[in-house]
Amino acid sequence: MKLGVLMLSVVMASVVAVVLAGGSVLAQANEIQADLLLRSYIEDKRVKAEPVRQPWIQSAQLNLSQPWQISDELQLFAETSLFGAVTLHDPANIGELAHMGRGREVDDLAYPGRYGLRLQAPDWGLNWGLQDISLPFMVAKDNLWLPPTWHGITGYRQLSDDIRVEGGQLSRARLRGREQLDPLLSAYGFVPIDYLRYTGLAWQYQPQGKLQLYVNQATDLWRQLYLTTDQATTDQAGRIWQLGAAFYTTTADGSARQGPQDGEAGSLTAGLNWHGVNLSVSVQRIWSDHVLDYLLDAYGPGLAIVMVSDYNAPQEFAQQIKLDIADTVLGVTGLQLSLWALAGQSAAPALRNQQGEDRRHYETGFGLLYRFSDGLFSGGDLMLTAINHRANGPYPDPTQRAMRLVLNWPVNLF
């Protein structure tokens, strides 16, 4: 895997050097592209035994892209994004939601959130720099006012219409609201990671069937294998029956700086979609005496259940029921409603309370999403989320209630 990443770096550097040296002889510069994403974030969060948090944040992401046409089928993009945010209310009482500068809380800040070079061909792409990452085992936590980004080199190849392979190496992270680049960190152990390397394959074996296999290595912490499959079928009445399964296994890597990591986890989901109403039921099980860790500021391996808590405690068994209702049922174009309920129980002896009871927690919530199709906010969306989480002991995610209102407003500048 190291050799593959090195080869990708050499190819990227070589192409960029040729383009810069040859100028317009080899590459035709196209018009620069610019867009702006404005986000208003308002929350009322009440955590047991902590002060009430009521932040109101206005953020902006200015995205600039300069394309060059290298050949008929190959383009080079130089891209950068400037992130900024202003605290409009409650700057001194938003806890972990505070803007974190260089070791201080500040009311406003601006920093480069993305930058890099991207090579794009019809069936492959290569990206170097500070970038968005979205992988089955690593989904960015873009649930506040600014998203996290990661520095590294990534690439993919579309082998056919049905098969795609990808891989990469990440070395640093720009966590949510942080001005500086930080080391990669594990989410639970907060242990620095020198590199995260990954490779994976996605196979769309049927129009309604997909299989994904990914492996990743956090140097001297863990190695993970992640496998997921999803299958759907439509009956004569138009009902869509869905079945999904996910499994991942973790082992310690190298010097195992975070200690033992061995364990497995799996989930099953069954669902039915009929006339715009989707009902799904999921179960998830952790077979490990340790928390199966993942990168900070990312959702971990994509099992069925990830809401406020990841339901990832040692020996935890969790269940979820979720209802999604489309706009065709609600009668308002662009409106979607989601309702869910979850419960989890950990049988690990080390997590039992003083009375010897297993650790239990549950969560209920709803999300109401409206997508604007025209007018001033065309292309944007408004999301209202309410969450109620209860735990009977010192769970990593404590008893809390939260309500969030988020407005996303994209603006194409030129």
* pLDDT value at 33 more than 50: yes
CA distance 273 to 267: 20
What average pLDDT score do residues 5-31 get? 47
CA distance 108 to 89: 11
Percent of the chain whose pLDDT exceeds 90: 59
Which residues constitute the domain of residue 93?
2-412
- pLDDT at residue 246, rounded to an integer: 93
Contact indicator for 410, 37 with CB cutoff of 8 Å: yes
Q: Give the residue with greater pLDDT, 31 vs 67.
A: 67
CA distance 343 to 34: 44
CA distance 38 to 130: 20
Q: For residue 148, count CB atoms less than 10 angstroms from its CB and return exposed for 0-12, middle for 13-18, buried for 19 or more.
A: buried
Q: What is the widest separation between alpha-carbon atoms in the chain?
A: 77
- pLDDT at residue 92, rounded to an integer: 54
Contact indicator for 65, 32 with CB cutoff of 8 Å: yes
Number of domains in the chain: 1
Radius of gyration of the chain (CA): 23
CA distance 412 to 326: 28
Mean of all residue pLDDT scores within the chain? 85
Residue 28 vs residues 79, 132, 242: alpha-carbon distances, Å: 16, 27, 47
Q: What is the CATH number of the domain that holds 195?
A: 2.40.160.10
pLDDT, tens digit, 9 for 90 and up, residues 378-410: 999 999 999 999 988 656 678 889 999 999 999
- pLDDT at residue 127, rounded to an integer: 97
